[in-house]
Homo-oligomer: A and B are copies of this chain.
Amino acid sequence: METTQNKSPQQVITPAQLLEHLQGHRGLTRRTIEAFPEEAFFKHTIGGMRPFSEMVMELLGIAGPGIKEIATGKMAPLNEHFEHGNQKAKLLQLWDEATDDINTYWAQIAPEQFQQNIKIFGQYDGTVMSSISYFIDNEIHHRGQGYVYLRSLGIEPPAFYER
């Protein structure tokens, strides 16, 4: 249920709503990861693309560290490689840790920061808002690809509209 505080007639979207939107997408991606059989998660590919596990590691490298960088101002280069020992559970654990990190650091982002310029990961110029939009869009993009992987394996993906 939305609180009064979470609504503002002056805002197109509030910081609290944007966090909810981001975490809603991350929850759906988590269920997409869960839907993969362990081996297919690390090995199944189509058309020379990466296995879904590698896309997920890209996502792990972006949202959590990106929000932390926005909140703290401390730049760290992109890291898309994580020890997983071919265990989906290991990446799910990192996913959940990132969920907590995002909530923690989000609370430290000032409302006026969203329109400020940033060179995220020391590499990508934009505003804080355009950077966060990119984190979300990139996750939706790759998760949509994961849906095709699942369908090609005869597995029904989670409902897209459920967050």
Contacts and interface: CB of A to CB of B under 8 A. Distances in A.
B152 A46 contact: yes
Nearest to A9: B112
A49 B46 CA distance: 15
A148 interface: yes
A63 to B, nearest CB: 15
Copies of this protein, total: 2
Interface in A87-114: 111-112, 114
A82 interface: no
Q: Which of A18, A115, A143 has the most CB of B within 10 A?
A: A115
A144 to B, nearest CB: 3
A137 B140 contact: yes
